[in-house]
Structure 1
Amino acid sequence: MQRNAAALAASPGRVVVQALPWGDELSPVRPAYDVVLGADVVYDPRCFPALLATLRRLCGPRSVAFLSCGMRRQLGTEGFFHELLPLHFCVRLLRHHGDTNVSLYRLTLRRGGSGCTD
């Protein structure tokens, strides 16, 4: 916590932290962030559509999102990354830790429905 406080103090106005209920109107949130980070946010299939909508609102053409989570087969986590996200994002697996079954993915918005080049 002290490291985070020091980092925030060193760069005032550059880091914003706020609650973000998925799928809610995002008017208080500035869209098209440069980087979006999510850790262990893919865990309830009922929330997948709202999470996808929120990611689409936060990301612009130059945004990069990184999502890391446990791959819970019984909850359809792999389906979120391999079926839902690719409808709107280019999805690339960066790392998978077999012992814990945790994966890290890189997402960028698809451009005009085109394929992915990265």
Structure 2
Amino acid sequence: MFLFHNMALVPYVENAVPALAKLQNSSACFHFANRDICLAQDWRKLGVAAVVWDAAVVMCVYLELSQVELRGKVAIELGAGTGLVGIVAALLGAKVTITDRKPALDFLSANVKSNLPPDLQESAVVSELSWGDDLDRYPAEGYDLVLGADIVYLEDTFVPLMETLQHLCADTTVVLLACKIRYERDTNFLGMLRQRFTVTEVYYDKERDIYIYKARKQPSRSGL
């Protein structure tokens, strides 16, 4: 059986790795931004799109440490999955567009709706975004903050992901990527990113082996 997410065909084998057993739980609960957040998970139906990965948790820890200004900012989350990062960003004061591919949207929307209080429901919008496709649906250079947790893992997605980042980011936009560097290809993506963005490692969670990188678009050199 194979599961589809962000251009990825992911083999599904139940209990294949004991350490991944928590991903097969029907829910995952956290406490961020002074609120309990309980997210539905559905590994069997949606695979990687419907479980909380460590990178998302580490990103939320980083956001809660107030290392980046969120209040009043316009943010977008890429490859949101269960929506944890976008939910926490909204709770911390951002106006967030939370995106993923179409098959994950109903599941994602339910998690967002059930974890935001009534007065913040309008602070988060769930929207379909396949990297590199129909980017004109999103304002060019229109975001203060772009968030991505564990979205760097498939080489086939690197070029469309870069295209998407180029479209969404102004020179002032902050990109935050939470990554586990598993393979050489992950390092290769960071090399691609550094060709167009200034990239800095800003946080490392040793226990989970997750890095957070901050990137800013390099100013255009046209006219030089």
TM-score range, shorter chain: 0.7 to 0.9
- Counterpart position of 2:135: 26
Distance 2:205 2:211 in 1: 6
- Counterpart position of 1:86: 194
What 5-or-longer segments of structure 2 have no aligned partner?
1-110
Structure possessing the higher relative contact order (Cα contacts under 8 Å, 6 or more residues apart): 1
- Counterpart position of 2:116: 5
Distance 1:22 1:102 in 2: 23
TM-score, length of structure 2 as denominator length: 0.44
Name the aligned partner's letter for residue 171 of structure 2. P
Distance 2:149 2:127 in 1: 15
**After the TM superposition, which of the residue ranges 98-107 and 41-50 deviates more from structure 2?**
98-107
- Counterpart position of 1:110: 218
Greater helix share, structure number: 2
Q: Over alpha carbons, which structure has the higher Rg?
A: 2
Divergent runs of 4+, >3 A: 1-4
What is the CA deviation profile of residues 70-115 of structure 1, one whole-angstrom value per residue up to 9, with x for unaligned ones?
A: 11115x111111x1001110101011233432110001100124xx
Given the superposition, is the C-alpha separation of residues 11 and 102 from structure 1 closer, same or farther in structure 2, using an over 3 Å criterion?
Answer: same
- Counterpart position of 1:116: none
Aligned length: 109
CA RMSD of superposed structures (Å) = 2.0
Percent identity at matched positions? Answer: 29
TM-score, length of structure 1 as denominator length: 0.80
What 5-or-longer segments of structure 1 have no aligned partner?
114-118
